[in-house]
Amino acid sequence: MRADLSGVFCAAATPVLEDYSADAKRLAAHCRQLLKDGCRGIALLGSTGEANSFSVSERMALLEAIVADGIAPDRLLPGTGVCALPDTVALTRHALSLGVSTVVMLPPFYYKGVSDDGLVDAYSYVIDRVNDPRLRVVLYHIPPISQIPIPDAVISTLIARYGQVIAGVKDSSGDLEHMAGLAETFPGLSIFAGADPLMLPLLERGGAGCITATSNLAAAQLRRIFDDRGNPDAKIAVQVAQARVVAVRTISSRFPQIPSIKAMIARRYGDDGWCALRHPFRSLSTEQRQIIGALLDELDADERASA
Amino acid sequence: MRADLSGVFCAAATPVLEDYSADAKRLAAHCRQLLKDGCRGIALLGSTGEANSFSVSERMALLEAIVADGIAPDRLLPGTGVCALPDTVALTRHALSLGVSTVVMLPPFYYKGVSDDGLVDAYSYVIDRVNDPRLRVVLYHIPPISQIPIPDAVISTLIARYGQVIAGVKDSSGDLEHMAGLAETFPGLSIFAGADPLMLPLLERGGAGCITATSNLAAAQLRRIFDDRGNPDAKIAVQVAQARVVAVRTISSRFPQIPSIKAMIARRYGDDGWCALRHPFRSLSTEQRQIIGALLDELDADERASA
């Protein structure tokens, strides 16, 4: 694991206004809250952030607005990987120009069944074109959505070619054994769980933390787990925090996940503006929001009862 | 089927230069040859054309160059569907601004498991924002790559909402029954086979033609099939043409298809410059090209022998 790259990173949702444009003000306020909650950083414009539903210029404008609003660039890990590599280069260079040096990079994801060599070529093209020694890349392995896994052989070749530029892997396979395998095979990389409940077991097997959706709602609990997992005096507190993380994640999976996360953020802030999404997603129905609200109320009541 | 939208359309490959930029000159020359071969039009910047590996501005510049080079806009059906709908709007408006009114439109394809309503929302957003009565949309159903099928219910809703703007479907499912089902369910739409060997059986069941990769190499034969399929005096000529189409398609599937199509175009024109591809694809090896060349030589020899 890299000493300078570990902790709880939130894959922040991106609020949108009525005209579907990104709402930088709401997002900056949310980022500030997430940092207060205990996040080490914000992995904005990732899958949960509907990044690929925004154009390159919209993504650049949003990142600029967040930095201008005072969120420190070294706390930001934007997603920059798209299908067209010139755009991946442009987004990555733009992040660096703002002082944001660590990015989470999807492989090009339109064509399926891509060869290992082709994936190495793609990442190499981007890193060579960006050509900036400050760059740190977190490779983004998310086969359920991208359908393009990043095999170990590709990671090995990239490390041999680019050294410390290859900083980590966000593993959203949902498979703990795969994540732990990466941590074992690549001890110099920071391996992040893409699913909140798996951060704790991954940390125990050499992982670096998480980059996740549920941290929009349970970052304080994740931070507690991260800090106190080895502290014998905090065993119960860690268990309680983990139970909350698992429960919130389960509730967020009751309906489509990204609309659910947004509905839950709306409830958190008492701000219905958070419920809107870009197409092809739809906001949860009032009934669905009520079901989620009731489940969260029940969870809160249970926690109070056992406290 | 729409009377004004039928025939053989080539999903043209996009030649690239050594710096990976699109080679508009080579592409315009290829388009001219394809029209001479008998294509009704050129579906450039589709899957075979590596469209999603090019940025929005590169795609616009390429389409402009092809029109400027003298290819008639009403012969062009560019792909304009990308993940970020503002870009789909921009690409579609840009095509219309050049006099190109018919486009082949992928649904947004990053997120998987999208609802029917979400797909309708996405296409509606684009059509409403483009807001041009000249627009004609060919919906692009290619589940093996996009992973986002376009269900009949989505098509019905879009037809009810937009009438003749919804002009057809390119069906690259590889499933003849699905294509024929679309032609039966939507007799007012032009249904195109995305696989060359299936154009003939689809035409016999109400289809409008094809939009395909092998037509980069066998457009003359496809045109023969299209024109003479009902002519009892041309039965053998149609059979011979179909056999050639099937054989060329089979050869193109011996190795990864898009690199193979490009290698076969290189052989056709005696122009190795055609072999280059954008990442994440790799050009065929010399050995692979020799195997394909030998298979094509054998096919030519067989045809001469039986002529």
The full 3-state SS of chain A, as one line of letters, equals CCCCCCEEEECCCCCECCCCCECHHHHHHHHHHHHHHCCCEECCCCCCCCHHHCCHHHHHHHHHHHHHCCCCHHHECCECCCCCHHHHHHHHHHHHHCCCCEEEECCCCCCCCCCHHHHHHHHHHHHHHHCCCCCEEEEEECHHHHCCCCCHHHHHHHHHHHHHHEEEEEECCCCHHHHHHHHHHCCCCEEEECCHHHHHHHHCCCCCEEEECCHHHHHHHHHHHHHHCCCHHHHHHHHHHHHHHHHHHHHHCCCCHHHHHHHHHHHHHCCHHHHCCCCCCCCCCHHHHHHHHHHHHHHHHHHHHHC
Asked if residue A211 has pLDDT above 80, the reply is yes
Asked if residue B4 has pLDDT above 80, the reply is yes
Between A53, A118, A282, which is nearest B115 by CB? Answer: A282
Which residue in B has a C-alpha nearest to residue A109's C-alpha?
Answer: B110
Amino acid at B231: N
Average the pLDDT over A145-164 and give the result. Answer: 98
Contacts of B125 in chain A (CB under 8 A): 20, 279
Nearest C-alpha neighbor of B13 from the set B232, B285, B281: B281
Higher pLDDT, A38 or B2: A38
DSSP symbols for B195-245: SGGGHHHHHTTT--EEEESTHHHHHHHHHHHHHHTT-GGGHHHHHHHHHHH
Residues A45-84: tens digit of each pLDDT: 999 999 999 999 999 999 999 999 999 999 999 999 999 9
Q: Does B304 touch chain A (CB under 8 A)?
A: no
Find which of A50, A62, A110 to mutate to test the B interface (most B CBs within 10 Å of its CB). A110
Token pair, residue A83, equals 């299908």
Average the pLDDT over B165-182 and give the result. Answer: 98
Contacts of A118 in chain B (CB under 8 A): 279-282
Q: With an 8 Å Cβ cutoff, are B118 and A281 in contact?
A: yes
Q: In this predicted structure, what is the pLDDT of residue A307?
A: 72
Average the pLDDT over A165-186 and give the result. Answer: 98
Average the pLDDT over B88-98 and give the result. Answer: 98
Collapsing DSSP to helix, strand or coil, B307 comes out as coil
Q: In this predicted structure, what is the pLDDT of residue B262?
A: 98
Q: In this predicted structure, what is the pLDDT of residue B303?
A: 83
Asked if residue A108 has pLDDT above 80, the reply is yes
Spacing of C-alpha B139 from chain mean position: 12
Q: With an 8 Å Cβ cutoff, are A145 and B108 in contact?
A: no
Q: In this predicted structure, what is the pLDDT of residue A165?
A: 98
| Selected residues 90-119 of chain B with any CB under 8 Å from a CB in chain A | 90, 107-115, 117-119
Average the pLDDT over A197-221 and give the result. Answer: 98
CA–CA distance from A189 to each of A102, A139, A205 (Å)? 13, 10, 13
Q: In this predicted structure, what is the pLDDT of residue A1?
A: 86
Find which of A20, A111, A127, A146 to mutate to test the B interface (most B CBs within 10 Å of its CB). A111
Between A55, A114, A144, which is nearest B87 by CB? Answer: A55
Residues A19-46: tens digit of each pLDDT: 999 999 999 999 999 999 999 999 999 9
Average the pLDDT over A107-116 and give the result. Answer: 97
Average the pLDDT over A245-258 and give the result. Answer: 96
Average the pLDDT over A167-186 and give the result. Answer: 98
Q: Does A140 touch chain B (CB under 8 A)?
A: no
Chain-wide mean pLDDT for chain A?
97
Q: With an 8 Å Cβ cutoff, are A118 and B281 in contact?
A: yes
Residues B200-236: tens digit of each pLDDT: 999 999 999 999 999 999 999 999 999 999 999 999 9
